[in-house]
Amino acid sequence: MTSELNVKLAELKLRNPTILASGFLGVSGKLLKRVAMVGAGAVTTKSVGKEPRKGHPNPTVLEFDSWMMNAIGLSNPGYEKFKKEIKIAKEGQVPVIANIFAGDPEDFAFLAKEMEDAKADAIELNISCPNLTPGECLGQSIGKNPDLSYEVIKAVKKVVKIPVITKLTPNVDDIKVIAEAVERANTDIISAINTVGPGMVIDVETAKPVLANKFGGLSGPAIHPIAVKCVYDIYKTVKVPIIGIGGISHGKDAIEMIMAGASAVGIGTAIYYRGIDVFKKVCDEIMEFLDSHGYSSLEEIRGLAHRD
């Protein structure tokens, strides 16, 4: 029996449920194309803003045995230069999701329109980055607030026709409240979760925090259970399709996320653990699982963990 890996997420059609998560390799169109060529069902760009940003000095990324910590600091060349990268990424023949960040609803709407004009297949709203300079109203400063989140999505939905994905932070009291707000604002898809924390690593020899930014968001296998719980809660609360992200390295992790309610999964940190072709590996493992357990499609197992 051949299992079916095709997925439909709102208007987005994917050949398989694995999506390159934002922040990994998405600096250039050619790298995004490479990720598509080695198996991803869709690719997401690095978060793009209005103006060029250099981000934080190094070290910006650390890895322990079961987690990665990063504080890149939203480095990007600005939307204008980045539009060309999207055009190149499209050569990979899979949907290209443009991840954008801004400080207010107007700028979000402006960037979303620009990315739609650049032929992005969907917009992902970064209202969940935790690596901010104190006082900066970006990322999770927005995503922790249901009213602000609502305003951002409303503004974006007004100007674009392509699907809008809202990426949520787990660093809130109750993610269900945020999920409800973004659904009310008509987001087409929810992706969850962004990195956890922030956290800090101090080098004890020098008594200095290792990341130049001092703190950074956690990703990787260690946060997987948190991500599964968030997706489970979101699925229970809202009807919009969910992209489950957080520590997915193997087919089993993806299955778990889908059973929690996700329609597709984001993969990032696992590129380090399993190589750039992790997308194909995870797909093969999902397929194997479905076949060996007698399931004929992903639809059959979606949200299965919610049944009595």
Residues making contact with other proteins (CB under 8 A): 23-28, 30-31, 33-34, 46, 52-55, 57-65, 68, 70, 72, 75-78, 81-82, 201, 203, 205-206, 208, 210, 212, 268-269, 271-272, 276
Measured from the CB atom, is 69 or 181 closer to other proteins? Answer: 69
C-beta separation of 120 from 162 below 8 A: yes
Q: Provide the angle, in degrees to the nearest 10, between the axes of the packed helices 251-260 and 278-292.
A: 70
Q: Shortest Cβ distance from residue 74 to other proteins (Å)?
A: 10
Measured from the CB atom, is 10 or 38 closer to other proteins? Answer: 38
Measured from the CB atom, is 103 or 289 closer to other proteins? Answer: 103
Q: Is 141 helix (H, G, I), strand (E, B) or coil?
A: helix
Read off the tokens for 56: 């934080």
Q: Shortest Cβ distance from residue 17 to other proteins (Å)?
A: 21
Q: Shortest Cβ distance from residue 275 to other proteins (Å)?
A: 9
Active site residues: 129
In the beta sheet, which residues pair with residue 139?
A: none
Greatest C-alpha distance within the chain: 58
Q: Shortest Cβ distance from residue 108 to other proteins (Å)?
A: 20
Measured from the CB atom, is 102 or 242 closer to other proteins? Answer: 102
- What does the alpha-carbon distance between residue 201 and residue 210 come to, in Å, rounded to a whole number? 6
Give the N- to C-terminal CA distance of the chain in Å, as an integer. Answer: 28
In the beta sheet, which residues pair with residue 233?
A: none
CB within 8 Å of 2: residues ≥ 6 apart: 291
Q: Is 269 helix (H, G, I), strand (E, B) or coil?
A: coil
